[in-house]
Amino acid sequence: MTDEEVQAKLLKTPSGKFEFRSGQMEENADWIAGMTGRDKAKLMFPIWEDPIQKGGGDLHLVSPKVALHAEGRGSNIPMVIAQLQPTVGGRGEAYLEINPVTARERGIDDGDRVRITSDVGEIEATCRHYEGIRPDTVVLPMEYGHWRAGRWSESVPTGHSGECTVNQSDRVTGQCNYYTSKVSVTKA
């Protein structure tokens, strides 16, 4: 290979190598600092920035998919929702999983109806005490709560977790970031 051929196959960074210290960021540091207000001396490095947790509550709401969730229409297929959330006995209904210590602090018993509130919305669900959940987190699978999903889905008295999660994008990359929010949980 000639030097030219090698040059052509190098990484498209100023140094031609993998850079921890980003040359491109450094070249544009003035512009970036002006646009985002970040520290000009540090922004070319991988940096830690504190996450901004929106929603206003004291607990993290996580809204995962469950194993049997293939697509949105699953919430109206009786065979699917009959064994949707088996780890906490969710047969025919999706439960809010909450750590027993957290629940007792709020006077919530196993199987109570709870209200989940954030800045953007409010839903109701039935809760289950579950030791497999961190005390600062609650989990509600995203499945039910669509307003026109069909008869089986609509008969499940669980709201959709999306009603409570704040619509935000990652502020560095712009990726989807609306699966969690800070919420408060009270007995309904």
Partner 1 sequence: MPKWGMVIDLETCTGCQACTTACAMENNRLPGENWQDVLFYSDGEYPNMNLSWLPRPCMHCENPSCVSVCPTKATYKDEGTGVVLVDWNKCIGCKYCMVACPYGVRFYMDEAPVVEPDVKDTYPGDGKRTWNPPFKMPDEYEDASKGIGIQPKGVVSKCTFCYHKISQAPEGVADLDEDNPETKEFTPACVRVCAPKARYFGDLDNPDSKVNELIAEKGGVRLKEETGNKPQVYYLSGGGSPVVPGKRSTRS
CA angle 152, 132, 126 (to 5 degrees): 35
Buried b or exposed e, range 8-36, using 16+ CB within 10 angstroms: eeeeeeeeeeeeeebeeeeeebeebeeee
| Distance of closest approach, residue 74 Cβ to partner 1, in angstroms | 11
CA angle 135, 64, 169 (to 5 degrees): 95
Closest CB to partner 1 among residues 14, 135:
135
Question: Three-class SS of residue 153?
Answer: helix
| Distance of closest approach, residue 134 Cβ to partner 1, in angstroms | 7
Closest CB to partner 1 among residues 51, 78:
78
Helices vs. strands in the chain: H and E counts, helices first: 6, 6
| Distance of closest approach, residue 98 Cβ to partner 1, in angstroms | 11
| Distance of closest approach, residue 52 Cβ to partner 1, in angstroms | 27
Closest CB to partner 1 among residues 16, 86:
86
* Residue whose C-alpha is closest to residue 125's, from 84, 96, 89, 83: 96
Closest CB to partner 1 among residues 108, 166:
108
Give residues in contact with partner 1 (CB under 8 A).
Answer: 67-68, 78-83, 86-89, 91-92, 99, 101, 128, 130-135, 151-152, 155
Enter the tokens of residue 46. 């991988």
